[in-house]
Amino acid sequence: MSDTTEIRQSIIDACLEMNASGLNQGTAGNISIRVEDGMLITPSGIAYNQMTPDDIVHVRADGSYGNNQVPSSEWRFHLACLEARSDANAVVHNHAHHSTCVGILNHPIPAIHYMVAAGGGYDIPVIDYATYGTPELATLVREGIAQRKAILMRHHGMIATGATLAQAMWLAVEVETLARMYLEVLQITDTPPCLPDAEIDVVLKKFESYGLREKN
Ligand SMILES: [Zn+2]
């Protein structure tokens, strides 16, 4: 336990940051970090400001966990993200307001801004709806996140992944910013001007060669 205390605390800190920044409300969000034999993930039904490192749940790669702990109801899709993306060591999920609104519209965010490439492609896609906490939702998430580092979820929220928790949190903020821009642009026109794929290719290459800002 003691050797993962710092990782566990970083999850709690990120949850508190998500709410303080307005990215998330209540306990709607959940966060996981890859560890040996599975992941550490936020528990179910404990307010972030009451969470202690011991409350963070170790879910093994086979989906099993200790008897006296209950992981977030979304542990299945967190595990699916870590399985689908070998470049991801952290998964952030929340119900960020603008990202959720775009998900409700079922409009993938197109290349209205070059930062769309931070998701790893030409758009930020929207995955189909399935009831929260179900294996069906985990299957949809697995398919979507295999294509992009971040996705929107119909009538639900967003998921962002990263090599580190800081990068996943950074991407979550970027996606929410893009979603807000997209909704505002849609007030003016149904067909916003977009960058051509060739330019997004250039940006994707730049992100590859220079890397995204490392925060830790
Ligand atoms: Zn959710």
3-state secondary structure of 162: strand
Distance in Å, CA 210 to ligand 1 centroid: 33
Residue 39 pLDDT > 90: yes
**What's the 94 CA to ligand 1 centre distance in angstroms?**
6
Q: What per-residue confidence (pLDDT) applies to 17?
A: 95
- Where on the phi/psi map is residue 93: left (φ > 0), alpha (ψ -120 to 50), or beta? beta
**pLDDT value at residue 27:** 86
The β-bridge relationship of strands 30-35 and 38-41 is antiparallel
pLDDT tens for 169-193 read 999 999 999 999 999 999 999 999 9
* Gap from CA of 74 to ligand 1 centroid (Å): 7
User: What is the pLDDT, as a whole number, of residue 208?
Assistant: 85
The pLDDT tens digits of the residues spanning 101-111 come to 999 999 999 99
**Which pLDDT belongs to residue 25?**
87
9-43: b or e for each residue (b if 16 or more CB lie within 10 Å)?
ebbbebbeebbeeebbeebbbbbbbbbeebbbbbb
pLDDT band at 212, cuts 50/70/90?
low
Residue 58 has pLDDT above 90, yes or no: yes
pLDDT of 93 reads: 98
Q: Which of 61, 153, 64, 141 is nearest to 102 (CA)?
A: 153
67 or 44: which carries more pLDDT confidence?
44
The domain covering 2-210 belongs, at the CATH homologous superfamily level, to Class II aldolase/adducin N-terminal domain (3.40.225.10)
Name the residues annotated as catalytic: 74
The rounded distance, in Å, linking the Cα atoms of 89 and 164 is 6
Domain ranges of the chain: 2-210
The overall average pLDDT reported for the chain is: 94
Q: Indicate if the pLDDT at residue 214 is higher than 60.
A: no
